[in-house]
């Protein structure tokens, strides 16, 4: 069975820069996942993530992305576009992620499939909350994550659905 990791990265002290972590918090609160799916708050960790991602076959990353679109734009990068993503250095964390992925390759445990969901931030300054515009993007990103997991034949249940079944 494939090990799948959904990784949110970002600094929750810098407003919209924490979008990845906020999405992970909502996923953990609202959904139940099978044992082979790891929902991981990566915060601002770098190489420390290697151990958590070891043996991950498929990786979904959520992060703030500095692109050239309007704030709130949701980006999606897959295996074919990830190298261009890193080349353009649009993520606030691309160096840490590049290092983690390189370390996994050196350990002969490369991630086989990866998707990055990014959001163009509106405000990156000292603030514990997402801006209203970026808060509105949490649900659409979660929908994309759930859709991707289901396309990988992963059963995802709303915590509410589980409670109704009991």
* Domain map (residue ranges) of the chain: 4-165
pLDDT mean for each 10 residues of the chain (166 residues) = 94 96 97 97 86 93 91 92 61 65 86 94 96 98 97 91 47
pLDDT at 164: 42
Domain 4-165, CATH 3.40.50.720 — does that match? no
Which three-class secondary structure state does DSSP give residue 36? coil
pLDDT at 55: 92
Which three-class secondary structure state does DSSP give residue 131? coil
pLDDT at 115: 95
């Amino acid at each position: 069975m494939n090990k799948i990791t959904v990784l949110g990265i970002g600094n929750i002290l810098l407003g919209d820069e924490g979008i990845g972590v906020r999405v992970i918090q909502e996923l953990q609160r609202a959904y139940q996942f099978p044992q082979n799916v790891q929902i991981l708050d990566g915060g601002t960790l770098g190489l420390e993530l290697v151990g958590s991602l070891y043996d991950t076959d498929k990786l979904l990353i959520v992060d703030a992305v500095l692109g050239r679109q309007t704030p709130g734009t949701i980006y999606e990068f897959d295996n074919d576009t990830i190298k261009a993503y890193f080349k353009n250095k649009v993520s606030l964390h691309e160096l840490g992620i590049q290092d983690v992925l390189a370390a996994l390759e050196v350990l002969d445990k490369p991630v086989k499939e990866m998707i990055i969901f990014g959001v163009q931030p509106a405000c990156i300054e000292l603030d514990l909350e997402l801006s209203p515009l970026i808060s509105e993007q949490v649900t659409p990103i979660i929908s994309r994550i759930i859709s991707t997991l289901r396309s990988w034949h992963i059963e995802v249940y709303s915590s509410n659905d589980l409670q109704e079944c009991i």
